[in-house]
Amino acid sequence: MEHRIAAEAEAVVRAVHVVAGQMVDGGAVLIELDYPSKSA
């Protein structure tokens, strides 16, 4: 089954830790996001 991973809110991608074709374990960090603060 193919899953689409979506952003929960507006954010900026800080880092991408995987590439296409890579095998990952459960709980592995795929992508890091920076969410804008409320004051911004």
Which chain residues interact with other proteins by CB under 8 A? 1-16, 18-35
Q: Which residues fall within 8 angstroms of residue 33, CB to CB, at 6 or more apart?
A: 7, 11, 12, 13, 14
Min CB(3)–other proteins separation in Å: 5
Min CB(38)–other proteins separation in Å: 10
Which CB sits closer to other proteins, 8 or 39? 8
Min CB(14)–other proteins separation in Å: 7
